[in-house]
Structure 1
Amino acid sequence: MKKPSWKPLLSVAAILLYSLFLSCKSGEKLYNKGRYDQAVVAFVKKLQRKPQDATATRMLPDAYKQAQLAREDRVNEYLRSNNQLKWEAVRNEYKALQSLYNSIHNSPAALKLVQPKDYRDAITGAQENAAEMRYDRGMSLLNRGDKASARQAYEEFSAALKLIPGYRDTKQKRDEAYQLGVINVVVSEIEVRSPYFQFSADQFRDYLVRNLQQRNINQFVQFYDERIARSENLRPDEYIELRFFDFVVGQTYVDRTEREVSKEIIVGTSKDTSGKEINIYKTVKATLYITKKTVVSKGLLDYRITNTTNGQVLRTDRIPGSYTWLNQFGTFRGDERALSDEDKLLIGGRDMPPPPPTDLFMEFTRPIYDVLARDLQSFYSGNNL
C-alpha cells in the first residue's frame, strides 16, 4: 500500500502561514503610514484567522484609537466651518467610524481587545441636520419664484430625500419646484410655399417633436407640437420657429454621352517557325450610348429659438440639405465582346421614373433633420436654460 504524501498538506500550511505573515506586515505598514482605518481592518482580519497573533493584539487598540481621533478631529473641523453642507461631511465621517465598529464586532478576538464606539445615533442626528439644511435651502430657492432657482430647489429637495426618504413634505415641494422650473418648448407648424408639400413638412415636424420627447434631453425641458399646445392652452416658455425656403424638388438633368470602346480578343492559335503555339488576336469595337438622368432636390431650413417672455432670440441657424436621385442606362452598337463588365451593367439598365415629389422632399430634408436634432440636443442639454 502506498504511503500518503504529506507534502501537499505542508505546502498549504506554509502558504497560510506566509499569508498571515503578510497580513500582519501589511497592517503594520498601513499603521506606520497613518492609514489607521485600513490598519484596523487588516488587524481584525488577521485576528479572525489567528486570534492570538502578537502584532495584531498589540497594535489593534492603538490603531482604532488613532482612527477614531483622526475622524473625530475632522468632525470638529466641519462643525466649526460655515459650510452649509457640513452635516453631510460629518455624517460620512461617522459612517466610516461605524464601519470600523461593525468590523470589530464581527471578530470576537478583536472585541476582547477594543470596545468600539457605536455611532448609529450620531449618524442619524447628522442625517437629520443635513436633510433639514437641504430642505431649508430648497425652500429659500423655491420662494424666489423664478425658473432657474426652482430647478436648483428641485436638486436640493432631491438631496434631502436621498438622505432621509419621506422627510417632511419634501416630495411635494420637489414636485412643486419641478413644475415651476420646467421649460415648455413649442415647435412651430412649418409653412412651405407650396401646399403640395405641406403634408411632408408636417411629417418632418411631427417626427422631430416625437424624437425630442423620447430622447429626454433634459428633465426640465418638455417639447410640444404647436397644435397640441394650442389645443391645451399651453403657454410656451420658448418657441422654435421652423421655415423651409429656397427649395427645389425634382429638378431633372439629362446627360447623354457616346463612347467608343475596344478590346483585343483571342480568335485562335497558330505555330511560329520553331513550332511553338501562339495566340491570334483581333481587335473588336463597339459604341456605347449612355443616358444619365439625375433628379436634384435641395433646400434650406431656417430655425430660430425665442424666449417668449422677453422676445430674446436664443439661437438661430440655417441648415442646407440636398438629395440627388440617379439613374443610368444605355445601348450599344457593334461587337458585344468589346464591352467591359461595367459597360454591360449600364447596358442592362433601363429608364425608370424618379420617386414621387413628396418622397424627394423627405429625402432632401433627412440630412437637415439630423443636423437640427443634434443642434437642439446640444442646446438643451447644455447650460442654456
Structure 2
Amino acid sequence: MLCLLACILLWGCRSGEKLYNKGKYDNAVTAFVKKLQRKPQDATALQLLPEAYRQAQKMHEDRVNNLLRSNNQLKWEPIRNEYRTMQRLYDAIHSSPAALKIVTPKDYSNAITGALENAAETRYDRGTALMQRGDKASARKAYDEFGAALKLIPNYRDAQARKDDAFQAGVVYVVVSEVDVRSPYFQFSADQFRDYLVRSLQQRNVNRFVVFYDERTARNENLRPDQYIALRFQDFVVGQTYVDRARREVSKEIVTSTTKDTTGKTINTYTTVRATIVTTKTTVESRGLLDYQIADISNGKILRSDRIPGSYTWFNQFATYTGDSRALSEADMASIGGRDLPPPPPQELFMEFTRPIYNQLEKDLRDYYAYID
C-alpha cells in the first residue's frame, strides 16, 4: 500500500509538470493543488504552481482584452466564460492551505457578475431591435434573444413578457383548405383526409412558430391566416373493375380395375377422367392525383406546389371445378377454393388510394415547416 501511495504521488507530480510543460496551465494548476492537498511540502508543486497560475491568468486576461477590443456584439458571454474559468482556479487554490501560502489568486466573482449583466443586456437590446423591424422572421429571432437573456439571468427585467410578445408576433398561421374533389359523392371522405392531416400536423408540433387550422375552424374564429394550403384531387378513378375468367380442361388416366391373366401377370384396366377448372380473378383499381399549393396571403406568392400520385388495387381470386375430382392434380386441388367477394365500398377505396398520398403530403409539409425563415 505504501508503494502504491508513493507511485500515485509521484505520478501526480509528474502529471502536473507535464501539463505545465505543454502549456496547459489551467490543468497544471489543478494538478499541483491536488498534489499539495496530499503532500503540502512537495517541492515540484511548490516551485511550479505560482508560475502556472500566473501563466493561466495572463492567458485568460489576454483573451478577455482581445474580446473587449472586438466588434462582436455577443462578446460578453465568452468573456464571462473566461472569468469563470479563472474563478474555478481561485476556488481550487483556496481549497489548499499550502497552495494559498505561495499564491494569492484573484477573485473574479464581481467580474463574472458584470459580464453576465452585460451579456443579458446585449441579448435584451438585440431582441428589442429585432422587434422594431415589424416582421415575423425578426420576431422569431427576437424570441430567441429574449430567451437567451433569461437563460443568463432569470427574470431579467421584462424579458419574459417581451419573449411572449415576440412569440405571438412570430407565429405563422396556416389554413388548410377544404379538399376539392369535383365529386360530392366523395366529399365526406375528402373532409376526413383533411381533418386527419390537420390533426396530425398539430399534434406533431412541427414547428413552435407554426399553427395549423382547417378552413372551417379558421372561418368560425375569424382567423386571418398568413399562409393558405389549397388541396385538390383530380384525375381520380375509384372502383374501376376488371374481371378475368380462365377455363381450363384437365384429364387423367386412372386404373379402374385389376385382373391377372393365365400366367399370373397383372393386367390394369384404364379409363380417362375429366374435369373443368374455372378461375375468376377480380381486380378493382383506384387511383388519383393530389395537387397542393402553399400560398402567401399577403402577396399571393406561391411558396411551394407539387402533385402527388396514389393508387390502390383490390384483388380477389377464387376457383371452382366441374367433373370428376380424380382428374385434378395436387396443385389443382390447392387452387380450388375461395369465394366471390364484393369489393369494398367506394368510400373505403377512396381512403385506401389516398393513404400513400396522405403520407407523402404530411411528410412534405413537416419538412417544409420544420424550418422557416
TM-score, normalised on structure 2? 0.90
Q: How does 1:98-117 map to 2 (within 5 A)?
A: 98-117=87-106
Tell me the alpha carbon deviations over residues 241-263 of structure 1, each in whole angstroms, 9 at most, x when there is no partner: 00111111111111112346789
2:230 equivalent in structure 1: 241
Paired residue for 2:122, among 113, 120, 133? Answer: 133
1:219 equivalent in structure 2: 208
**Which structure 2 residue ranges, 5 or more long, are not aligned?**
255-271
2:191 equivalent in structure 1: 202
Tell me the alpha carbon deviations over residues 300-334 of structure 1, each in whole angstroms, 9 at most, x when there is no partner: 11100000000000000110000111111102354
Aligned partners of 2:246, 2:15: CA distance in 1, in Å?
84
Tell me the alpha carbon deviations over residues 233-283 of structure 1, each in whole angstroms, 9 at most, x when there is no partner: 110000000011111111111111234678999xxxxxxxxxxxxxxxxx9
1:39 aligns with 2:36: no
SS in 1 for 2:247: strand
Letter in 1 for 2:326: D
Aligned partners of 1:147, 1:211: CA distance in 2, in Å?
24
Q: Is the 8 Å Cα contact of residues 325 and 354 (structure 1) preserved in structure 2?
A: yes
1:337 Cα offset (Å): 5.8
Aligned partners of 1:56, 1:348: CA distance in 2, in Å?
92
Paired residue for 1:338, among 305, 317, 329? Answer: 329
Q: May I ask how many residue pairs the two structures share in their alignment? A: 357
Q: How does 1:135-154 map to 2 (within 5 A)?
A: 135-154=124-143
Q: Is the 8 Å Cα contact of residues 174 and 210 (structure 2) preserved in structure 1?
A: yes
2:165 equivalent in structure 1: 176
1:80 equivalent in structure 2: 69
Aligned partners of 2:57, 2:229: CA distance in 1, in Å?
59
1:79 Cα offset (Å): 0.7
1:274 equivalent in structure 2: none
1:270 equivalent in structure 2: none
**Shift in alpha-carbon separation, 1:344–1:215, aligned structure 2, 3 A:** farther
1:345 Cα offset (Å): 4.8
SS in 2 for 1:175: helix
2:262 equivalent in structure 1: none
Q: How does 1:229-308 map to 2 (within 5 A)?
A: 229-259=218-248, 288-308=277-297
SS in 2 for 1:100: helix
1:93 equivalent in structure 2: 82
Q: Is the 8 Å Cα contact of residues 209 and 224 (structure 1) preserved in structure 2?
A: yes
Aligned partners of 1:250, 1:57: CA distance in 2, in Å?
91
Aligned partners of 1:239, 1:338: CA distance in 2, in Å?
63
1:62 equivalent in structure 2: 51
2:39 equivalent in structure 1: 50
Q: Is the 8 Å Cα contact of residues 250 and 328 (structure 2) preserved in structure 1?
A: no
Aligned partners of 2:9, 2:273: CA distance in 1, in Å?
91
Tell me the alpha carbon deviations over residues 184-208 of structure 1, each in whole angstroms, 9 at most, x when there is no partner: 1000011222222111111110110
Letter in 1 for 2:119: A
SS in 2 for 1:129: helix
Q: Is the 8 Å Cα contact of residues 262 and 338 (structure 1) preserved in structure 2?
A: no
1:373 equivalent in structure 2: 362
Aligned partners of 1:216, 1:204: CA distance in 2, in Å?
19
SS in 2 for 1:58: helix
Tell me the alpha carbon deviations over residues 157-193 of structure 1, each in whole angstroms, 9 at most, x when there is no partner: 1111111111111111111111111111000011222
Output the aligned Cα RMSD.
2.4
1:106 Cα offset (Å): 2.6
SS in 1 for 2:344: coil
**Shift in alpha-carbon separation, 1:132–1:332, aligned structure 2, 3 A:** same
1:14 Cα offset (Å): 2.7
1:271 equivalent in structure 2: none
Aligned partners of 1:153, 1:181: CA distance in 2, in Å?
9
**Shift in alpha-carbon separation, 1:39–1:261, aligned structure 2, 3 A:** farther
Q: Is the 8 Å Cα contact of residues 256 and 291 (structure 1) preserved in structure 2?
A: yes
Aligned partners of 1:224, 1:129: CA distance in 2, in Å?
41
**Shift in alpha-carbon separation, 1:63–1:293, aligned structure 2, 3 A:** same
**Which structure 1 residue ranges, 5 or more long, are not aligned?**
1-11, 266-282
1:218 Cα offset (Å): 1.4
SS in 2 for 1:258: strand
Tell me the alpha carbon deviations over residues 36-60 of structure 1, each in whole angstroms, 9 at most, x when there is no partner: 1111112222223333322222211
Aligned partners of 1:349, 1:257: CA distance in 2, in Å?
15
Q: Is the 8 Å Cα contact of residues 251 and 327 (structure 2) preserved in structure 1?
A: no
**Shift in alpha-carbon separation, 1:289–1:122, aligned structure 2, 3 A:** same
1:34 Cα offset (Å): 0.9
SS in 2 for 1:335: helix
**Shift in alpha-carbon separation, 1:208–1:339, aligned structure 2, 3 A:** same
Letter in 1 for 2:200: N
Q: Is the 8 Å Cα contact of residues 296 and 322 (structure 1) preserved in structure 2?
A: yes
**Shift in alpha-carbon separation, 1:330–1:30, aligned structure 2, 3 A:** same
Q: Is the 8 Å Cα contact of residues 284 and 338 (structure 1) preserved in structure 2?
A: no
SS in 1 for 2:341: coil
**Shift in alpha-carbon separation, 1:44–1:261, aligned structure 2, 3 A:** farther
